[in-house]
Every structure is written in C-alpha cells, then in structure tokens.
Amino acid sequence: MADCIRVPLLLIFMCSLPLFHPSRADNNGLAKARPNAANPQNQPGGAGQAAMNVGAAERNLGAGASAQRKRSAGWKLSDEAVCRDDLTRLCSKESWNNNLELLVCLQDKKEDTEIAPDCNHLLWNYKYNLTTDPKLESVAVEVCRSTISEIKECAAEELGKGYLVSCLVDHRSNISDYQCNQYITKMATIVFSDYRLLCGFMDKCREDIDALRCGSISTGEKDIHSQGEVIACLEKGLVREAEEQPGAHPIKDECKKSIMRVAELSSDDFHLDRYLYFACREDRERFCANTLAGEGRVYKCLFNHKFEEAMSERCREALTTRQKLIAQDYKVSYSLAKACKSDLRKYRCSMDSGMPRAREARLSYLLLCLESAVHRGRVVSGECQGEMMDYRRMLMEDFSLSPEIVLHCRSEIEGHCSGLHRKGRTLHCLMRVGRGDMGAIDTNCQRALQNLIQEADPGADYRIDRALNEACESVIQTACKHIRNGDPMILSCLMEHLYTDKMVEDCEHRLLELQYFIARDWKLDPILFKKCQGDAARLCHTQGWNETSEMMPPGAIFSCLYRHAYRSVEQGRRFHDGNTETGSITWTLSRDCKVEVHRILHQRALDVKLDPELQRRCMTDLGKWCSEKTEAGQELECLQDHLEDLVSDCRNVVGNLTELESEDIQIEALLMRACEPVIQAYCHEVADNQIDSGDLMECLAQNKHQKEMNDKCSVGVTHFQLIQIKDFRFSYKFKTACKEDVLKLCPNIKKNFPCMLLRVDVVICLSTTVRNDTLQDAKEQRVSVKCRKQLRVEEVEMSEDIRLEPELYESCKQDISHLCQNVAFGNAQVIECLKENKRQLTQRCHQKIFKLQEVEMVDPELDYQLMRVCKHMIRRFCTESEGKNVLQCLKQNKNSEMMDPKCKQMITKRQITQNTDYRLNPVLRKACKADIPKFCQPILNKATADSELEGQVIACLKLKYADQRLSSDCEDQIRVILQESALDYRLDPQLQIYCTQEISRLCPEEAAAQEQTGQVEECLKLNLLKIKKEDCKKEVLNMLKESKADIFVDPVLHTACALDIKHHCAAIPPGRGRQMSCLMETLQDKRVRLQPECKKRLQDRIDMWSFAAKVAPAEGFSDLAMQVMTSPSKNYILTMIGASVALLFLMGLLCGRITKRVTQELKDR
C-alpha cells in the first residue's frame, strides 16, 4: 500500500489489492505468462510484437475464468459459454476477437440483471486480474515506447514499481500515439467500472461507505448492484457535508481526497463516471448523440440540456452532483482545467493547489481570479474565457451548485421559492426576496447571493443569466439591436428602456432583480470598473477586483466616486508630491469615469432599491410613509415630500441625493423621458452640455407652460420645484451663486433641521437686503451681482406657483379650497384667483396677498401673470425699460392700437389694484411722499399695515389736486390717475364702492361695454339728479369738481373739444383749470364759434357745475374761489368783487383820517 500512497492518481494498473488473494490457478496462469513478457526489449517486432505481448497478457488475465480455457494459448472472452448469450445479444461480431472491446461493451450495457450473473462474475474476475498483473507495465513499455520518451516525467519513472502506467494515465491527454492512447483509455474505463478495483479506495473510504450505507465491502462479495453506486453515494455524502445539511456525515479527509481524485480522473470521458453513465445513457442519445466522447464534451453537452423537459430526473440529479463537485474543485471539469491551466499559472491562481479542496481549487476562486485578470485588461486565452463563460452560466442557472446558497438561504427557498428550480428561477426568486419585495432576508443569505453574483459576473455578459436572457430577448431584439450580442452595454440599454413601452413586465422584474445586486458592488459593472479603476485607486484607495477592504467596502466606493464626480473645479484640490514641481494628484474624476458615474446615477434614479445607501438608511421611513407608493420613481418622490419627517440618517441621504439632482436633473431618467418634447423644443442646448449645473431644470421651469409640455413632465418639474423650497442647497445654481452672501448677510435664518435652510427664507433675506439697499440709494449693493442675478430667477420661479411660497400657501389654504377649488396650480392662476376675490379672503390670507401685491408693484417682474400675458407687448414697447418700470411702460402704451387685448385687460387689473392703495403704487408713493402726510393724515391714522385703504388716500389727493394745492410731482401723478379713472370707472375704488348699485340701475349698458372710454362716468354725471345714494352722489360731484381742474380728466369733453383746444387754447399749458377757463371764455366770446359737439358738451358741464354748486356749496375759500373761476359769470363776479374791495379801501382811508384828527386834538389838550 506504500506504493499506492506514492501514486496520487489512484489509478492502480500495477497495484495488487491485499483484500483479494489470487487462486493457485491464477498464479499458475501468471507464471505461464511470465516467460513471454519477462524481457520484451529483446524481442523484435515493434508494435506488432507489442500486440502479441498484450495478447499474452490477456491470456493470463483470463485465468480465473476456466481452468481448461486458461491453459490454452489464446484465451478469448467470446469462447466462454456463460457469456455467449449476452455477447450475441449486446455486442457486434467484429469485437469478439478483442477481449478489451468486449469487456467495455458488456460493462457499458450492464444494468441490474441485464447480464447473466455467471457472466458478470467472470467479467469481474477478468478485470480484477487485469488490474493486479505487474507484467502489464512491460506491455505499456512496448505499446507506449515513443510516448514515454516524449513525456519526460514518465521517462524518469523507475520501472517495476507501477509508477509508469500511473504517469501515462495522468498525461493521457498529451498522448499522440493512437495505440498507446487507446490502451491507456480502455484500461481506465475498465478500472472505473467498479470502486473495488481502485487501488486503496476501499481502505481509505471503508468507514465512510459503511456509515453512509453506500454498499457492501465484504471481501469476495461481488454485488452486481454496487457498480458505480458506491462512488456516487460517497459523492452525494460529500455534497451534503459541504452544504451542512441536517444529519450529514463528516467524511474523512483521506476519503474526500480519493472521491475528488476519482471525479477528476473521470472528468474527460463520461463513461468513467459509471453512475452518471448509466443514469444518462438514454439522455446522451437524446441530446448528445453527435457529441464525441472524450475531453469532457459529453459532460458539457448534458450540462447544457440539464433543464430540458425531456431530461430524465435521474440524469439531472447525477449531473447536478457532478456540477457540485466541480464547484468544489475545478479540476473535476476536464475542459476547464485544460483550457485555463496556463492562465492559472500565469496569474498565480493556484498557489496552494496541493490540497484538492483547498481554497484555490474551488471554482469560485478560479473564476474570481481570472475575471480579475480580464477586468484589469490582462490577456486570458479565448478558450479559457469560453469555459469560464459556460461555468458562470451554470452557476446562475442552478442555485444548488453554490453550497453557501443552499446552506444560508434554506428558509427563503422553502418559504418563497420552492418549485422554481429550473433555469435560474430560484436564484432570481431569491434576488427578489433580497430586494425586499417578498419579505425580509437573512443577512448570510444576502451575502451568499452577492458573492454568487460576483463569481458569475453576469454584468459582463447578460447571456450568463439565462432567466434574464430569455425574459428580455424580445426587448434586446427591438430596443438594443444596435449593440453587439453579449456586450456589457446591453444591460445599460435595458435600463434605459425600463418603464418604457418597449419593456415587457417579465424582463423588467428580472432586470431589477439583477441590478439590485450589481448596484451594491461597483466592480460588477464592467464598464464602470474599466473606466474608473484608476480613479477609484487614486481617490478611494480600492483594492483589486476580487479583493475587499473593511475601510472601503464595495458599496462605499461608488459613493466616493460620485462625490468626486460633482466636485467643481474650485473644489478640486491638488496635492503636490514635493519631489517635482510638476508632480500633482488631481482630486476630481477623469472625464470617462465621470460619464460612467452619470450613467449609473441615471439608472439608480429609476428605482430607490438600486441605491444601496438610500435603501439601507431609509428602510423604516419607506415602510412608514411610502408603503403605498409602488409605481416607478414614486418612492423617492415620497421620501422627498416627507423630508422633514424622516429620521436623521435617511434625511441626510435623501437631501444629498436631491442636492445632486439639482445639479444634474438628467439623473431623473423618468422625468427626462416625460420632458423630451419640451427639451427638444426649448432646452436642447443646455441638455447637450456634458455638465448640467442646474441649467436644464431652470429651462424646464421657465417653459413649464408651453404647448409641448405634457402632464407628466409638468408634474415632475413642479414636484422638484416644491422639493427645492425645503432647502437652500436643493437649488444648485442659487446655492453656488449665493452661498457666500447667505453666510455673510443671513446668519440668523432659522434652520428647521441641521444644515437645512428653507429656500424661501433665504430668498426673503436676500431680496429684502437688495430692496433696502435700492430704496436707501446705497452706494454699493451688499448682495453680489451673480447672486442678485440668480435671486431674480428664484423669485420669478416662486411667483409661478403659490405652493412654492409655503407661508403664503399655508395662510390661504382655506380660501383656496373655498374660492379657487376649480383653479389649477401653476401659471400663478391660484394667486390671481385670490387677488380677484380679495374682499372675501380671510384676514390672514388677505394680509399675505396684500404684502405680495406690494412686492409685485415695486418689482413687476415678479408678477408672473403680468409678465406671462404681456410678454410680447413688453418686447414691443418696453425693451429699453428697466424691470421695475415695466408696468409703468405698459400703462403708458395701454391705449395703443397695437396693444394686445389680453395684455390690456391685465394692465387694467393692475391699475385697479394700484388705485386701491397708494402703497401699491410706488411711483405715486415716492412723488407724494410729502403731500400724503400733509393732507391725508387722518386717513393714515385709521389705516392698518396689512390692509388696503380702498382708495381713500388717492381720493384725498384728488380733492387737493382740484384745489391746486399739491406739489408738482404729486400733481403730475394724480393727473395721470384722474385721466385713467375718467376713462374707466373701475379704476376709482371709491366710486365702485359707493355707486355699484346705481351703476347697475342707471348705466347697465355702459357698464357692460367691453371697452371703457368714460361712458359710465358720463352716464352718472347726466343722471346726477336720479342718484339716490348720497355717498354715490358725492363721488359724482367730486368727479365734476375734479373735471374743472383739468379738461383731461373729462375724456368726453376733451374728445369733443380737441379741435377747439388746438385752435383757441394751444398756447395755454394744461393743468390748474387753465385750458378749461380758456374754453369758457371762448364760449362767451360772440366772435368765436366752437364746434357744435364741443359747445353742447361744454354747456352741459356748465349746467352740471351750477347744479353741483347748489347741491354742494363750497366747503371753504378754495372751493369758493374755484367756483368763481369756473363760473359763466366769472367776469361779472370778479368786477363786483373788485368794486367792493375798492369801496372798502376808500372807506378805510376816510375813517382812518378822522380817527387821526381826533387823536391829535386829544393830545393838544
């Protein structure tokens, strides 16, 4: 047995088994054969003579068959009567003259009682004697003479000890000589037909065979049912032990080695694995009839058909056992070991392969080692890569080939994935469990799945994953047909078409299941690894492809990469090595790596579970807030909506991701698809930029109401705008432009959470600073130019939707539901609705709307509706006007024939708003800054800060204008207001308040006119006597009084008398009643003829003023003076007043003289 231990291959052509003692007849037979083969070198004849020696050996080895026959010179197995029937029935006549061919024929056909017991007994004795005859070595020397000289290892073996044949078997793949190859192959076939013929096998595995009840090992007992079954039983026991199945028997190490060695030596020809051969005989004919035996080809063919419906269950079981042995030791696969032998040596993948079951012998280690070489750009032979591909696919097809999966995922398989064994379905089911779609998963099972995905590396070639390949075949053929079959970009292409019309449901599920695990190890995306391995090593201190580091686990490396991907040029630091002036290390990513990082981020945005960090930290919050959000992209939106409610870790992750989206919104692949029409029409230039920097989202927000905008895109853009208000950082351009200004000018802004500043608070802080500096005429603005520019964008964007101003929205929620429930958000429509219903608003909402209007009137560019409706008119009339003067410019051009009607209507609305309160008219407020407190202080004393004065201050100023007591600047502004309100009664809030009912009763047709040109005012003036409400009558009288001060205030009269003013009063400047007085004097001049219409209108006005004087007598000297100056009898009145004054003067002189005389007389006394 020492010799058997010396020969590790376990093929014992020259060994004798101590358990079996040849009979005397056997020994005599062997003695007879000895002279014929004692010195073969001295016998000439070459191969022919060698054949004679083989025949002589066969004659001796048949000695145990029959005492009479074994004495004959040329014993043949075909001559034995006990086997005649079996030979005739099973073997062709051509093989009857060759005992070895007959032996192979009979033992390949033997199954249970197929061969007669006596014949079976004869065959076993023949094989036994064949494998225990030491003279066979001399036969091998003759047959394999040239081969021995070619194989140095075999030529160096010492003859006579049985090592030569063992060496030849070990190198039989390199034997080119046909006869030698056939001889060695047939001998191996014979030996492997019965475990009892293997040298030392019984001694090493006796106890394990007994413990596992794998069959009888009694000396001399020749159980026909044990052929191959014992080894198969031991192999299954070995697998059960590796999987740590309950009740598994621990097999001794020596027996383990023997089992694995037997499996290895039977790896090239499936005939040598007797159990598998008999189990798969029919399946081989069914699936692999044209596959030549040898070099493991039949094994591979059967592996490829393992999950076919026609495959027998017994064969499938035997194949699975064989595959599990390959998983434990790659050398059990002849084709893999042969194809990758040089590559394994080249890349030092088998440094410790002396132990068959050492770590380096495992299939997983081989795959990882060689895959690492491939991913690093090393050259691995195509043949080896082909073999690796086959076995990676094998691992993905059958989860049971991974002992770790079987061991750690047992409960998950039983609970969720039973009955799905074929074609990788169980593995994908476990992946789905791992994603969290079917409940919780054990951490060890999750780790085992992750390891298996790395070993199989399906990211490099989707075809490795059969379940994915079959599910996505139609999608690949349509959406990804431009990509080469097997290219790693196929997976990226599939991800790009996720949730599109081209994607099918089954493919979608399989793809997300696989991507879940690929996303957790950056190395499993081969393109990312290829482009970023240098950056990862430089910036993230990564190890090799198949090595991990506790300091930088695989999942953290991608986070490291994307942090550097979005590091700006200013942030990208350089570290000088100190040795050279030029040596430096850049801390930003290379361009190619950054592109790949963007690609991965776009993919991860499709499903929250593809972001490992997000899922890990937000698992609780996802269940708490987002359990009902199951559609694509909804989970992340839900987390963003509940940002304030999330736990700290989750809030930080979601915040960082949202901040990243603000810089590159293209990460949101679903949103980009929905917005494709708008992007192509309005934003294609910024979309084509490699670096987004927030420009694309800004463009989408600006074009949110274009006709190309669809509901999905609009909702997505609005959602992101709503998220941006939660944190100043979520607006990338705003953050970049104003970060320093915020730190300097807004240090006291309240943070709702650490590091979270509400964007609206920042905007208010900065805009207030800008406004104060402007109003105070500061020499230098405290807010930087770039920040002011971006601040304007933020303010305009916030004005578009009331929801973007949280405080205003919260204050007016009740009013919106009551007054504007049918008004859609966006386009500032809800804000406009609240403005139109201002009188019905709750106090809190009313105050907020008033404040908003005050801001908009100071800066009309923030009036979203005005800027939207009058966009083209602003371009036409106001291109040279500053933003704050846009409304003033529009008002000046309001009556132009080229003015758009909708814009004109919007201007009128804003004029009505301005006239309700002087504070809403910044131009008037500035012009009348001194006049308002001087003349209207009682009104101011009654006013509140957040409510309108309903035109009272402006009405007060109008009266003073009529009295000609205002400053010139204020007078000019009031004149404009009077002119505007004279054309449209709606611009006079006091008139609207007090005369609404009278207008409806007396002037319904005039009020209903689409174009207001002063008809309503004229109607009220003509029907002054019919007005019942005193307050309304007073307002009409005030109108009459105001019209005396300036003819421009009376549009009807001014229109009628325009020619007469031009002819008779052209030299007289307007204002202070001068032109009106001119017309009155012209009317009284008999030499001048006025236009009939002018004369009629002017006479009507005189009558009205006369009536007004009666109804409303002068309240003071100023009123009296005005009435005199505008009276038709002005000259007469002035003459009489002059005469009276002269008379009084004379009387004064006279009385004064008398008084002086009396006083003198008194002095003289």
Long-range contacts of 248-256 (CB under 8 A, 24+ apart): 249/208, 249/211, 249/212, 251/205, 251/208, 251/212, 252/204, 252/205, 252/207, 252/208, 254/204, 254/205, 255/204, 255/205, 255/207, 255/208, 256/356, 256/357
Which pLDDT does position 25 carry in this prediction?
A: 34
Q: What is the pLDDT of residues 1065-1108, one digit of tens each?
A: 888 887 777 888 888 888 888 888 888 899 888 888 888 887 77
b/e 447-480 (16+ beta carbons within 10 angstroms → b): ebbbbbbbbbbbbbbbbbbbbbbebbeebbeebb
Identify the pLDDT of residue 59. 40
Q: At what angle do helices 313-328 and 297-304 cross, to 10 degrees?
A: 120
Q: What is the DSSP letter of 389?
A: H
Q: What DSSP character marks residue 681?
A: I
Tell me: the pLDDT tens digits for 641-693?
888 889 999 998 898 888 888 888 888 888 888 899 999 999 988 887 755 67
Question: CB-based burial of residue 1129 (10 Å sphere; 0-12 exposed, 13-18 middle, 19+ buried)?
Answer: exposed
- The 8-class DSSP code of residue 753 comes to E
Beta carbons of 82 and 119 less than 8 angstroms apart = yes
Tokens of 951: 């035109």
Task: Show Cβ contacts of residue 1155 under 8 Å, excluding neighbours closer than 6 positions.
Answer: none
Low-confidence ranges of the chain (pLDDT < 50): 1-73, 112-113, 216-225, 352-357, 569-585
CA dist list (Å): 770 to 408, 807, 849, 926 = 64, 21, 21, 18
Q: Hunting for tokens 């132990």 — which residue is that?
A: 355
Sequence letter at residue 808: L
**Residues of 918-940 as b/e, b for ≥16 C-beta within 10 angstroms?**
bbbbbbbbebbeebbeebbeeee
- pTM over the 0.85 mark: no
Grouping H, G, I as helix, E, B as strand and the rest as coil, residue 15 is coil
